[in-house]
A and B are shown apart, each in its own frame.
Chain A
Amino acid sequence: MISPFLRSTALGLALAGPALAADPSLDLVGPLSDYKIFVAENTAQLVSDAEAFTAAIKAGDLDKAKALFAPTRTSYERVEPIAELFSDLDVSIDARADDYEKAEQDPGFTGFHRIEYGLWSEGSTQGLEGHADRLLADIRELDSRITALTFPPEVVVGGAAVLMEEVAATKISGEEDRYSRTDLWDFDANFEGAEKIYTLFRPLIADGEADFVAKVDGNFQAVREVLAKYETPEGGFVSYEELTDSDRNILSAKVNTLAEDLATLRGKLGLG
């Protein structure tokens, strides 16, 4: 039933000549759609984790809220290239104090990092109830907007490099989670998000770009090995302050190389 359609189109493509030569391959459809399913699974997890996290805040359970902060964020950090397409929600969910004129005291400062500031710097859940409600509502809205979104192919493929740039700019410096020092959780989640994209599209270039994939595979492996040293038995990560200077330097070098290499992925897949 299907194949006659496919053959006729393939013939059309083959005969169409130079005008279509710049077109990327239909082979991209499989990994692009698998990526959306991955993102949907993460945002569904984010909603349920955020429900537990915000419930702990509203119950005044400081220890539980602090324990749930980092694991809740990971589902957001994994899919950041898509999540940050919605500028209003990205700001209200994940902006940092330095994006605002009055920093921590700015009334516009909301979301994860405002709650992080309250839990760690102020050591209390008091006054965070409104922020918790807003965060949960924003996350639910994000989930439904992502479900309805046709993912832009170039954002998906470009997302691998974007995540590594994000790590280089804000995670290795320890700037992201400055109150809780849970930066390595976010680092790992960004890293997993980048690796997921790379792994999905890797089969499309593995034959023609053997040197490239060998290099990228090696750098992913090197980062994974360093991160593994800082994992806790419970599956989380130790404080960012325990990251040694030499490991920070290794991570920085590998992550920057990965960011540069992964930035070429779009061009290699005809999405430059």
Chain B
Amino acid sequence: MTDTHPPRTGLGLAVAAAAMLVVAGGGAFWYATQRNAAANPEAPADMTVSVGAETCDPRDITVPGGNRSFRIVNASDRPIEWEILDGVMVVAERENIAPGFRQTLTVQLAPGDYAITCGLLSNPRGTLHVTPSDEAAVAASEVTLRKFLGPLSEYRVYLVLQSAKAVKAAEALREAIAAGDLAAAQAAWKAARIPYRQIEPLASRMADLENAIDPNAVYLAGQEGDPGFTGYHRLEYGLFGQNSTDGLAPVADRLVADLTDLSARLKAVEIDPALLIGLPGAMAGQLATAHVPAGENRYAGNDLDELQASLDGIGKLTGLLRPVLAGVDPGLEGDIGAAQDKAERDLASLKQGDAWPAYDQVTDDRRQQLAGSLTALQTALDRMQPVIGIN
């Protein structure tokens, strides 16, 4: 897989191009946390800030957005740290500046209002007002692989943690089946589906495992009697269709083994930006055209609970991608947010009190409405690829 990566020799150039680093305007805070690597005290700076015993001089600073440097002079008689804060989040800081010493901090700043610390925690903070600039606008609108590193890493963490939960939940299901406890096994089955549905956008692309883990009898020649009918829905058929745990132990064993394989594979798979961008729209489309109209859990009927888990899984992806999108196409970012809220609302409106009704109680009209909002969500999500796709 090493041939799928940009050549290592490109890394050397990265240092020279550090000034081109990008910030999403008003986006997630991490774009703004380009902390200074080198603390050369003699480097020229855009602004000198002197920190005395009680205050900063100047205390209210205005700079244009972009790559800005601050020379911090410790004019007090104790060691200080100097921080730029966005709310409670540290955007950049220099720590342990000794009395009489100075250090330079360089940071990519998106337009907005920040606070600065001034020595003692009990001292009043100063303000940093960052004005819009061409430099900041260009930085926000540039699409680079670097902007995807955080989202890609966070999604991998999600896949690793949720797939581990799926394995654990399947093990609990297997135990309940082995104990012959039907009620416990039915509850465990429903619980076991949730983490799987959350990671399904990528998990379902492992075709061989998907065919063993999640096949539906409707698509098999021999229906429920087909030897290929394995995995979650085979267990669902036994537990809810036949109201029995008989003969299910080997099916549960196999499910645990397949999910363990899946977990290892999701940990090893290398996801790139194009794939990440494509996942949520594809999942929304699949729900709109297959799951919502026809239902999927024909024996347990708990489809709505699982649809919520699927929307959570889509929401995880869009939550990671929207900050990248916000700097490039804020209109589309807003459209996606609105479409997602609409789908969430349509689903939530089906709740009866705190509980989801069985899916056979959901009328065709309501199914069509939900499918419509999911299709709209897919349409919005599919507009991302040309805007922030790196290809």
Task: Note whether A and B form a binding pair.
Answer: yes
Q: How far is the CB of A15 from chain B (nearest CB, A)?
A: 9
A250 at interface, CB cutoff 8 A: no
Q: How far is the CB of B346 from chain A (nearest CB, A)?
A: 26
B13 at interface, CB cutoff 8 A: yes
**A180-211 interface mask toward B, CB cutoff 8 Å, 1 = contact, 0 = none?**
00000000000000000000000000001000
Let me know if B206 and A150 touch, CB within 8 A.
no
Query: Interface majority SS on A: helix, strand, loop or mixed?
Result: helix
- The interface stretch among B78-86, B166-174, B348-356, B363-371 is B78-86
* Closest B residue, CB atoms, query A10: B4
Let me know if A86 and B88 touch, CB within 8 A.
yes
Contact with A169, one of B11, B14, B79 (Cβ below 8 angstroms):
B79
- The interface stretch among A59-67, A70-78, A95-103, A121-129 is A95-103
- How many angstroms from the CA of A86 to the CA of B122 in the assembled complex? 17
A14 at interface, CB cutoff 8 A: yes
- How many angstroms from the CA of A259 to the CA of B273 in the assembled complex? 33
B263 at interface, CB cutoff 8 A: no
B122 neighbours in A (Cβ, 8 Å): 100-101, 106, 108
Let me know if B120 and A158 touch, CB within 8 A.
no
Interface residues on A, range: 35 or more
Let me know if A270 and B4 touch, CB within 8 A.
no
Q: How far is the CB of A24 from chain B (nearest CB, A)?
A: 6
Let me know if A98 and B95 touch, CB within 8 A.
no
A135 at interface, CB cutoff 8 A: no
Total number of B residues with any Cβ neighbor in A under 8 Å: 63
Q: How far is the CB of A143 from chain B (nearest CB, A)?
A: 14
Q: Which of B341-391 contact A (CB under 8 A)?
A: 390-391
* Closest B residue, CB atoms, query A39: B157
A214 at interface, CB cutoff 8 A: no
A37 neighbours in B (Cβ, 8 Å): 157, 160-161
Q: How far is the CB of A33 from chain B (nearest CB, A)?
A: 4
Most central of A10, A101, A150 by chain B CB within 10 Å: A150
- How many angstroms from the CA of A48 to the CA of B262 in the assembled complex? 30
* Closest A residue, CB atoms, query B149: A153
B145 neighbours in A (Cβ, 8 Å): 13, 20, 23-24, 26
Chain B residues proximal to chain A, CB less than 8 Å: 1, 3-6, 8, 10-11, 13-18, 20, 28-30, 33-35, 37-38, 78-79, 83, 85, 88-90, 95-96, 117, 120-122, 144-146, 149-154, 156-157, 160-161, 205-207, 269-275, 278, 320, 390-391
- What are 18 of the A-B contact pairs (CB < 8 Å)? A2-B269, A13-B5, A21-B17, A23-B14, A23-B146, A25-B11, A36-B153, A87-B89, A101-B120, A108-B121, A150-B153, A153-B150, A153-B153, A155-B33, A158-B37, A169-B96, A170-B96, A266-B37
